[in-house]
Amino acid sequence: MNQSLSAIVQQLMASPKGLLAADESTKSCCKRFDTLKIACTDESRLQWRQLLCMSPNIELYISGVILYDETIRQQTDSGLTFAEALTKNGIIPGIKVDKGLVEMANFAPQTITEGLDGLAERLTEYYAMGARFTKWRSAFTIGVDLPSPAVVRANMAVMARYAAIVQAAGMVPIVEPEVIYDGDHSLAESGRATELVIKVLFEELAAMKVDLTGLILKTSMVLAGKDAADVSSPQQVADATLKVLNAAVPREVGGIVFLSGGQSPDQASNNLNAIGAIGTQPWPITYSYSRAVQEPALKIWHGNQNNIKKAQLKFAQLLARNSAARNGECA
């Protein structure tokens, strides 16, 4: 057991806090801005991320922030870098290190994640900048014969290699095998796919001798697809999700965080609350949301600096709600 990595995990998973995913690529961020007709520039992205990361009292609800490469290199209005400002506020800076999805040869349109080349060198730089944890995402679509076992295995082998390299650099890896919410798949189909992906992931992590106490799993909840005829209730989501996690995740894992994955803010909070209400699990469980806590604030801000305080107030309300939800205490 690596005591220093385990200590970082414990800080990140401390109740009642969650993690903020502020690691959208420039391309993804611009898509969101374009939808609202917000100019997407270096300055507007900086101001938006500063609105989030420097939000008053964020440290009450957030233990760590996943940053994007652009952001960790920028300075806030205080003259400090984002990593320095977060650390000063008692929040651990993290960094997304994968380089995105590309179609996997012979299996298109299924994808594999790139970014292992030069990873060790990049981690040395990020560590010097103040980052103490990292994130790597892969994505899987549910459909006829999907996801393919070969695609799952290939992605999870890469993810396990990433995790080993990160721990060797003295940082905590977050592994994120996302099962995509889009589609008309059933709750049962979601459960089967999610369990398959997570089980293969931990087989590969074991093969790479990754210290599970110094690792966090970021996973999808188990719920029927967006276009499914039957909408999953919060209790159904909670029961199905915890069934999969207890079947597939080793007890030594340092913590589990949920991605919102396209759920609405209310849906993500209500489902998290139902999971928290079931009670203590073998691992601490919390949230690591992006759009589910950001989208309402983004609409209020709308690129107008005069709206910052109103946007931050809404953001704080969403964080408070999800921090209560992780313990099943959301009204």
**Under 8 Å between Cβ of 217 and 160:** no
Q: Is 252 an active-site residue?
A: no
Q: How far apart are CA 132 and CA 246, in angstroms?
A: 28
Catalytic residue among 17, 218, 295, 314: 218
Q: Where are the alpha helices (DSSP H) in the chain?
A: 3-12, 26-35, 42-53, 69-72, 82-88, 119-129, 149-168, 187-207, 234-248, 265-278, 291-301, 308-325
Q: How far apart are CA 262 and CA 266, in angstroms?
A: 11
Q: Is 176 an active-site residue?
A: yes
Q: How far apart are CA 32 and CA 267, in angstroms?
A: 20
Residue 36 sits at φ, ψ, to 5 deg, of: -100, 5
Coil, strand or helix at 112: strand
Q: Which residue has the tokens 């001798």?
A: 209
Catalytic residue among 24, 176, 195, 204: 176
Q: What is the DSSP letter of 196?
A: H
**Under 8 Å between Cβ of 61 and 16:** yes
* CA-to-CA dists, residue 19 to 28, 217, 228, 282, angstroms: 19, 12, 29, 19
Nearest-CA neighbor of 173 among 135, 226, 203? 135
**Under 8 Å between Cβ of 272 and 287:** yes
Degrees to nearest 5, angle at CA 115 with 113 and 117: 135
Q: Among all residues, which ones are annotated catalytic?
A: 176, 218
